[in-house]
Amino acid sequence: MTTGHDTAAASPAKEGGAAPGRPSGGGPVTEQEQRRRKRLSRRWQRDVRWSPYAFVSPFFLLFLAFGLFPLIYTGWASLHQVELTAPTDMDWVGLRNYTRIFDDDFFWNAAENTLWIGIISTVPQLMMAMGIAHILNYKLRASTFYRVVMLAPYATSIAAASLVFVLLFGRDYGMINWALGTVGIDSIDWQNDTWASKIAVSTIVIWRWTGYNALIYLAAMQAIPQDLYESAALDGASRWQQFFHVTLPSLRPTILFTVVVSTIGASQLFGEPLLFDANKGASGGPEHQFQTLGLYLYEQGWVNQHLGRASAIAWTMFLILIVIGIVNYVISRRLRASS
Amino acid sequence: MRARTRIRRKAVVLAAVASLGAGLLAGCADDGDDNGEGSSSSGGGGGKTKITLGLFGTAGFEESGLYKEYEKLHPDIDIQQTVVERNENYYPALLNHLTTNSGLQDIQMVEVGNIAEIVQTQSDKLLDLSKYGKEGDYLDWKWQQATTEGGQTIGVGTDVGPMAICYRTDLFKAAGLPTDREEVGKLWAGSWEKFVDVGNQYQGKAPKGTTFLDSPGGLLQAILSSEEDRFYDSSGEVIYKTNPAVKDAFDLTAQAAEDGLIGNQTQFQPAWDTTIANSKFAAMSCPPWMLGYIKGKSKPEAAGKWDIAQAPKSGNWGGSFLTVPKSGKNTEEAAKLAAWLTAPEQQAKLFGVQGSFPSTPAAYESSEVTSAKNDMTGDAPIGTIFAEAAENIPVQTIGPKDQIIQQGLTDNGVVLVTQGKSAKEAWDNAVKTIDNALDQ
């Protein structure tokens, strides 16, 4: 790494910038000086060619160690019967861990829960984010303050947030049931009821991510040229009409981006349902009513210690994610083509 | 003017950012607490041999001053501990560390629900402690639980959980039941059915808003922990589904739940804690360590209102072991410390302070145990009550997945009955969950 330094010192850059300037010709130079320059130039070329690889290598080395190796190892483990108590003791079972997923009620229950929680968290979340972004886009006093506040839930740890929500959603002494009680609604068993528990988990997700998405939308909204609104206003379009006919179409790529990111996030949902479980277990409630795929994977691997089965679930989830990615890609191409 | 508003705006933003940062830090601190808590107060100790302990829950060695005492006896030793609050979080990490043989403390605590799995799968990574602890000191079954088939004893017992029944004298009185601990014990002596019958009597005249018992899990745990064979037979086969003792315990608990004798709580949850504080139930199964828990969660005015009677059948609930991983730097010193911490004199001291009941019968004669009292139970001689219970504990067959089976029967089973499901639905749900968990 010292080469850059040397050359820069030897011939200061004429045009500024990070790269050292080329040795300029002109004027008589000694043979020695020429050799020196040639040497420096070779060094510089080598530097230019190889340094970038050196600079990016940490990522790839880390990826090899913590990304690719686990991926391959998990794939290998998924073809074996192997327990966490003795990870080197592997019994080859072929595709059995995968085939049994087809009649694993718990897996499909988890997949269904993941889908439902994904829908009831992502859809309202993005719609609310859009509304909030629209409001923040008006001229407001202390708008920076509101923007920072929007991001506050995102910055809190899931653990802290979920624990607070567990208290809020408590059946007997929770604040939400108390509030419902004051308007005459019977207390709801948020943790054990099939749908109430899913809604409660979604609430944590919505609370955490709405502001984040709102800021993304806001950034995109501010990039929309003002004259579009002005001409729309001249044409007599109301605020709502402007929103539907100017803002939404311009945000289409951004919306697509947030949908993709939220979908991926939703399919990997883990922390919220884990911490929402009152028993501090990974079964997602007594009847597994809010056990997501991520939670089921964790339960198989780290609670039940079936490394092979957990690996197969991990790979199946990976494949499902790829399918979701392809579907998203196709839809986005369609949309782009149509616009 | 302009400048001032700008400054004010900056201040607001700064404040917002700062509060965000504080939130983040608080989050970190929360996470850190789990394993960074309570490192030894002696600190430093340059040149000394450092012994580290990995513990969960409230082991109480430090609180009762045992580390300081040992450090005084052995000036070259420096003891440090890390504590994880819940065994459910502690055990998977321990298992991981054992299988990879790394990241282990010099001494690791193991819960009785996990000891069979450790004995069967990890014993080659743990030191044989039979040279350090004296076999005759410990309850025989406690010693055997940590001994492999080859005769290697990988853990020395800390406490045991001889189970009695804690009950509220004020609520019993209000429901027209006797309050003297001998008489109460006689009401249900010998069978859990009688216990549930007493519950029916209680419920007939119960103060409004109270139930006889706290939670379905507590009752099921109590019944099962007084059985010799539960989930595994002596040859190591899983028999929980076909063992009539397990099904009967489940059905009796479900029946009691259907009859409304049991509060619909899960033990050790915040809401359950609140039912203790609000005196919502009259009785609960009660190993010695539970007294400390009750004390921690009760309001001051509840002091002295509890009493303890013998359980219908004696059982054991809880208790731990200290093991010494071979990968440690000072296994010899660690083993000596583990044996010392669990020797009768130290266990007696621990009971006086922490309520962990000794696993060494010699300690039962000591004045610390015989004269022990608890604020919640007034002048009840808790030491002699629990000692009597301990003598009647059956030798229990334990298996590697006991914890998972017990958890399935409770968290995915009987709890459903309190939520309006039938006993059959609850049993089916539990069995399905457990079988899936056991299937490799």
Residue A24 — pLDDT band, cuts 50, 70, 90?
low
For an interface test with A, the pick among B101, B238, B411, B421 (most A C-beta atoms closer than 10 Å) comes out as B411
Q: Which range among A2-6, A23-27, B35-39 has the greatest average pLDDT?
A: A23-27
Average pLDDT, chain B: 86
Higher pLDDT, residue B36 or B332: B332
What is the pLDDT confidence band of residue A339, given thresholds at 50, 70 and 90? low
Cβ atoms within 10 Å, residue A209 = 23
Query: Sorting pLDDT into bands at 50, 70 and 90, what band is B198?
Result: very high
pLDDT tens digits for range B199-242: 999 999 999 999 999 999 999 999 999 999 999 998 989 999 99
Kindly determine whether residue A85 and residue B432, on different chains, have CB atoms separated by under 8 Å. no
Rounded CA-CA distance A218/A108 in Å is 38
Q: What is the C-alpha separation between B23 and B19, in angstroms, rounded?
A: 6
Counting DSSP H helices and E strands in chain B, the numbers are 19, 10
Give the mutation candidate from A97, A143, A304 for the B interface (greatest B CB count, under 10 A).
A304
Read off the pLDDT of each residue in A39-60 and give the average, rounded to a whole number: 90
Long-range contacts of B298-303 (CB under 8 A, 24+ apart): B298/B376, B302/B277, B302/B376, B303/B375, B303/B376, B303/B378
Q: Which of B267, B276, B440 to mutate to test the interface with A (most CBs of A within 10 A)?
A: B440
* pLDDT tens-digit map of B369-428: 888 888 888 888 999 999 989 888 888 888 999 989 998 999 999 999 998 899 999 999
pLDDT band at B173 (very low <50, low <70, confident <90, very high): very high
CB pairs under 8 A between A and B: 112
What's the whole-number mean pLDDT along residues A157-171?
88
**Predicted pLDDT at A9:** 44
Q: Which residue has the higher pLDDT, A302 or B107?
A: B107
Q: Which residue in chain A is spatially nearest to B97 when comparing CA positions?
A: A85
Percent of chain B past pLDDT 70, that is, above it, reads: 90
| Mean pLDDT value across residues A100-128 | 94
| Contact criterion met (CB below 8 Å) for B374 and B295 | yes
pLDDT of A101 higher than 70: yes
Percent of chain B with pLDDT over 90: 58
Planar angle of CA A303, A78, B428, nearest 5 degrees: 45
Please determine, for the modelled complex, whether the ipTM score is greater than 0.90.
no
Average pLDDT, chain A: 86
Under an 8 A CB cutoff, do A303 and B92 touch? yes
The average pLDDT across A119-128 equals 94
User: pTM here?
Assistant: 0.81
* Separation CA B415–CA A138 (nearest Å): 52
How does DSSP classify residue A292?
-
A12: pLDDT strictly greater than 50: no
pLDDT band at A277 (very low <50, low <70, confident <90, very high): confident
Determine whether the interchain pair B31/A303 forms a contact, defined as Cβ–Cβ distance below 8 Å.
Answer: no
Chain B: nearest CA to A24, how far in angstroms?
Answer: 49
- Taking the C-alpha atoms of A141, A146, A147 and A150 in order, what is their torsion angle to the nearest 10 degrees? -160
- Kindly tell me if the per-residue pLDDT of A321 is higher than 50: yes
Judged on CB neighbours under 10 Å (0-12, 13-18, 19+), B205 is exposed
Residue A191 tokens read as: 């943790």
Sheet holding B49-56, edge to edge: B77-84, B49-56, B107-111, B316-323, B155-162, B357-358
How do beta strands A91-92 and B281-286 pair? unpaired
Inter-chain residue contact B16 with A148, CB threshold 8 Å: yes
CB within 8 Å of A227: residues ≥ 6 apart: none
Contact criterion met (CB < 8 Å) for B429 and A278: no
Please name the amino acid found at residue A18.
Answer: A
Instruction: Pick the residue from chain A with its C-alpha nearest to B118.
Output: A85
Instruction: Spell out which residues of chain A touch residue B412, defining contact as CB-CB under 8 Å.
Output: 283, 286-288
**What's the whole-number mean pLDDT along residues A146-157?**
88
Comparing CB atoms, the residue among A85, A149, A192 nearest residue B419 is A192
Strand A80-81 with A91-92, pairing: antiparallel
The mean per-residue pLDDT over the stretch B83-93 comes to: 85
Q: 3-class DSSP state for residue B157?
A: strand
Task: Give the phi and the psi of residue A104 in degrees, each rounded to 5.
Answer: -90, 100
Q: Do A152 and B429 touch (CB under 8 A)?
A: no
User: A256: pLDDT confidence band, cut at 50, 70 and 90?
Assistant: confident
